[in-house]
Structure 1
């Protein structure tokens, strides 16, 4: 807890494998990321890992003696029922999942998920004792002055955040992953000044919450990214760069620097 009685905002870093890995590759990666657990813990950094659904149970077993927090890539908003093909948040919690990612740009675009859908899922995640990792971000980079682009980004992200915050208890822990859609998969991350200004604005939208609210940056993040952004962000949500475990280790070491 902070001197003001608020939850401590530890730095946090993690990655999602999406659908890139085979089961064997995921198992190998899980063992490797578990080996980074002592380093992350010593540096006071929370480390999370999000495999595919099929791998969750074996990953939970492999990570049982580590501090790595297991994640899931999505869930449904109901625990039980006739919802063919959906994944129960209650079952995820039972399997050892701690963090559930929702609202990724791919799901919003490909599966037409709305802010309401994301909010319903976030509420179900919290109800089942897990932490929602909510992806937010603007679709396009506004042209013109920097201030205009920053303002446009905050305006577009505001309803995404509000929907979730209205749906979960005020004391619930929430992680926001700011990922400008136009920067996801790009060869270069978004300009550092832009990210810092936007995140500072987004933090103002959640100021006063009783629950721990951390904001990560995603979107082509890699070495050097956190150093440029650490005045504003609490950590990084890494993409394919972190699928090489050596790269992830480099970022963890970098984040452990004062």
Structure 2
């Protein structure tokens, strides 16, 4: 299994299905994604790392269906403990055993709907990393503020989540809470300012080699081009339910990666 980010030039595109699809619908979608990955030059050439995060019940079959495509499969959550009397939880060792490579940690919905605190997020980030799973660490400010204030809050969340974890790559998913589910994403200039600070911060950490910063929050086609190299990719939601729309984003990501290579 490949790592979430094997080079600084590699772009990252992720999709979380949340709880929108049933099992059969998920596997149909996964099959379409697999077919796309096997023919799309962005994936075949390794310029773009794609990860998909289905519901728990579809993980094992998704891993099998995507074997050999280079697409990573993730989990939408994981327990802070590895094993024990935790009814309804799924631990990192079990997720790693079935081939999970990434796991969402700290999403705004987990915080608002299930009361997850900074302490819980930190414990789950630690659980992921100690089991060889890269956390897709969701951070973001609650309300629209200045880019400088937003970056300061995101850095606080980043430091809190990773303070007591082992070394390993993370995918920092910058998702301004006020932009999640909105009609439009945050303005490109705003995201670029915050993203650049986050990229510098994660790049300065010797224990986070291979990490990346991606943007989520009503992300769609055209956005990554507008964001330039201040983020490494995008984290998609319902937009990517249409695999043709996901392909359009991969096309855009490939063009951006090729452009960056030409400037190097």
Length-normalised TM-score, structure 2: 0.90
Q: Give the C-alpha shift of residue 7 in structure 1.
A: 6.1
Say whether the 8 Å CA contact 1:43–1:256 is kept in structure 2.
Answer: no
Partner of 1:8: 7
Q: State whether structure 2 residue 35 is matched by structure 1 residue 32.
A: no
Aligned to 1:3: none
Q: 1:7 to 1:24 in 2, by over 3 A?
A: closer
Alpha-carbon separation, structure 1, partners of 2:106 and 2:21: 21
- In 2, distance between residues paired with 1:12 and 1:155? 24
**Aligned equivalents of 1:217, 1:13: Cα separation in 2:** 9
For residues 19 and 186 of structure 2, the distance between their equivalents in structure 1, rounded to whole angstroms, comes to: 24
1:84 matched to 2:84? The reply is no
Structure 1 partner of 2:137: 134
Structure 1 unpaired stretches of 5+: 1-5, 143-148
Post-superposition shift, 1:8?
1.7
**Aligned position for 1:253:** 251
- Aligned residue number for residue 102 of structure 1: 105
Higher helix share: 2
> Contact (CA 8 Å) 1:136, 1:157: kept in 2 or not?
yes
1:244 aligns with 2:242: yes
Instruction: Give the one of 63, 73, 78 matched to 2:76.
Output: 73
Q: How many residues align?
A: 246
CA contact (8 A) 1:115 1:159 kept: no
Q: Counterpart of 1:62? A: 65
Partner of 2:262: none
Matched, 1:187 2:183: yes
Equivalent residue runs for 1:205-224 within 5 Å = 205-210=201-206, 211-224=209-222
Q: Secondary structure at the match of 1:187?
A: coil
1:52 aligns with 2:48: no
Contact 1:178 / 1:199 at 8 angstroms: preserved in 2? yes
Deviation at residue 43 of structure 1 after TM alignment: 5.7
Tell me: CA distance 1:58–1:7, structure 2 relative to 1, closer, same or farther (3 Å). Answer: closer
CA separation of 1:44 and 1:206: change in aligned 2, threshold 3 A: closer
Q: CA RMSD in A?
A: 1.4
* Deviation >3 Å, runs of 4+: none
Q: Which runs of 5+ in 2 are unaligned?
A: 260-264
The normalised TM-score by structure 1 is 0.92
- Residue 43 and residue 203 in structure 1: after superposition, are their counterparts in 2 closer, same or farther (change >3 A)? closer
2:24 partner SS: helix
- The structural deviation recorded for 1:46 is 0.4
Query: 2-side partners of 1:118 and 1:230: how far apart?
Result: 29
